[in-house]
Amino acid sequence: MSGDSAQISRIGILTGGGDCPGLNAVIRVVTKAAILKLGLEVVGIEDGFLGLIRNRMRPLETRDVSNILTVGGTILGTTNKADPTRFATSHDQDGNPVFEDVTQRVLEHVRERRLDAIICIGGDGTMSGTANLISHGIPCIGVPKTIDNDLMHTEITFGFSTAVQTATECLDRIHSTASSHHRVMLVELMGRNAGWLTLHAGLASGADVILIPELPYDIELVCKTCQERSKRGKRFTLVAVSEGARPQGGQQVVDKIVHDSPDPVRLGGVSVVLAEQIAALTRLETRATILGHVQRGGAPIAFDRVLATMFGHQALQLLAARTFNQMVVMRAGRLGTVPLESVANQQRTVALDDPLLAMARDVGTCLGD
């Protein structure tokens, strides 16, 4: 590393949003490199922005991050309900949350802890919260993580490849059950409004039907695919469906509304709805499985361990060079940076001309359109 870091003596590090494999790898490299290479103090901020709001922080030493490279989740904890600009501080007489902007409280805690800069690890929600800190004069560096792979300006985020591997293994297991029982088996995967996880896992498992949010599906076409396979002697169909998939002219299936969350809509249940429709229209035995949070957990695969370490190390190089308010990205296979504000409040979805979609169609995969 190079650069004048004399004016930087203490940094904070937080993990925000949903957990994913590889978070601890970033915490490890940032803490070790900051202490051993730059001679800095490192403060771990607990539970993402909630730690900044409630002043929950603790010093991190090299011993605190030893042996965590292979561990899933985050040793600092995380939450997706702590947006300082809209934080639920109380409830009204009807039980509805009352929101306040507590950014000033966050700034006071940053000053109290004497944090010269903060490294924020997270997805689009975390980067939006980080952009708010930057607008109030707090130097920040972003490190992209999400199993959804939906952050702008980076072709991949750590955690995604592990989630694809986990989802693929689950699809493989359900594939054998579908074949044995001659059933239509639907597997619902995460991803919100982006179909990357479903598309990659569906292709890797040889799913017969892949339904993603970017391509609203025609239920009649999906049923036709199942029936034609049955007539050809393929007495089963494996369907990989994203939680954000929706029918042509229809809406996404909402599982619940979390009123005290910055992103209150929780998608889920489209596979159950589809299973009932397919069974009624085709008279084929149909089952649905929602993978849920199993996709988020477990140890990161080797690729994500290396990628997360690369991202974290690049963040420290930016810190050493006093290049703040950037997010680390991977583009064309090379590390780079983009202004962090350019990532906030955006989502990278599957382009309709993505080569993977053409490849899927060419091998006979039904995409519902």
Q: What is the pLDDT of residues 11-61, one digit of tens each?
A: 999 999 889 999 999 999 999 999 999 999 999 999 999 999 999 999 999
Question: pLDDT-based confidence at 365, cuts 50/70/90?
Answer: very high
Burial 149-178 (b: 16+ CB within 10 A, else e): bbbbbbebbbbbbbbbbbbbebbeebbeeb
Q: Is 148 a catalytic residue?
A: yes
Residues listed for the chain: 369
Q: What is the pLDDT of residue 286?
A: 92
Beta-sheet pairing, 117-122 with 10-15: parallel
Residue 177 has pLDDT above 80, yes or no: yes
Joined together, the tokens standing for residue 212 give 């993603």
Q: Which of 229, 233, 237, 235 is nearest to 207 (CA)?
A: 237
Q: Which of 39, 334, 94, 361 is nearest to 209 (CA)?
A: 361
What are the residue ranges of CATH 3.40.50.450 in the chain? 10-158+300-342
Which H or E run contains 175? Answer: helix 160-181
End-to-end CA distance of the chain: give it in Å, rounded.
Answer: 50
Superfamily for the 163-296 domain: Phosphofructokinase domain (3.40.50.460)
Q: Does CATH place domain 10-158+300-342 in 3.40.50.450?
A: yes
- The owner of tokens 């477990």 is 298
Q: What is the pLDDT of residue 100?
A: 92
Q: What is the pLDDT of residue 262?
A: 67
What would the mean pLDDT of 322-332 be, rounded to a whole number?
95
pTM: 0.91
Burial of 191 (0-12, 13-18, 19+ CB in 10 A): buried
What are the residue ranges of CATH 3.40.50.460 in the chain? 163-296
Residue 140 has pLDDT above 90, yes or no: yes
Set 116, 124, 148, 304: catalytic member: 148
